[in-house]
């Protein structure tokens, strides 16, 4: 079984979260703001589209159970759009975590390297099913 075999994702963002502290961190939570906008097609130019009204906004938490210290132990995840809307994803300035040996969540500032304002994602495209093979 191939996941999303019938869909084409125009963009996929690879995100890497590195723990530069000396000890592992646990239960890391990063809350992204996601905004969905309707797609407005240009009647005079069908190959062009623009963003329309905001149809939905939500906060999406990314949960990482543990990140060991050091660049080689970075947690990797991917962001892509499965909707039929134009989507904007904005990273937060802070993440919460629990330090090893502690019980109370703390916050740490995120250093957004290579991503300043956010990510824009085009809608997913429906692929045409392959033509049947004639025998």
Residues 64-107 have pLDDT tens digits of 999 999 999 999 998 888 888 888 899 899 999 999 999 999 99
| Maximum Cα interatomic distance, the chain, rounded to a whole number of Å | 66
**Residues 64, 27: Cα–Cα separation, whole Å:** 6
Of 31, 14, 16, 15, which Cα lies nearest the Cα of 92? 31
Query: What's the pLDDT at 48?
Result: 75
Greater model confidence, 65 or 4: 65
Greater model confidence, 134 or 22: 22
Beta-carbon contacts of 106 under 8 Å, excluding residues fewer than 6 positions away, are 96, 97, 98, 99
Query: What's the pLDDT at 127?
Result: 58
Query: What's the pLDDT at 130?
Result: 60
Beta-carbon contacts of 34 under 8 Å, excluding residues fewer than 6 positions away, are 57, 58, 59, 60, 87, 88, 89, 90
pTM: 0.77
Residues 19-72 have pLDDT tens digits of 999 999 999 999 999 999 998 887 888 777 778 899 999 999 999 999 999 999
Query: What's the pLDDT at 1?
Result: 43
Pairing outcome for strands 45-67 and 25-42:
antiparallel
């Amino acid at each position: 079984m191939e996941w999303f075999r019938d869909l084409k994702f125009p963009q996929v963002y690879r995100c890497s979260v590195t723990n530069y502290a000396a000890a592992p961190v646990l239960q890391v939570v990063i809350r992204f703001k996601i905004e969905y906008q309707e797609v407005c097609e240009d009647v005079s130019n069908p190959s062009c589209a623009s963003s329309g009204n905001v149809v939905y906004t939500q906060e999406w938490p990314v949960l990482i159970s543990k990140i060991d210290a050091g660049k080689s132990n970075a947690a990797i995840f991917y962001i892509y759009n499965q909707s039929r809307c134009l989507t904007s994803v904005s990273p937060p300035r802070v993440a919460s975590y629990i330090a090893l040996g502690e019980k109370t969540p703390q916050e740490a500032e995120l250093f957004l390297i290579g991503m300043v304002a956010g990510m824009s994602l085009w809608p997913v495209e429906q692929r045409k099913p392959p033509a049947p093979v004639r025998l």
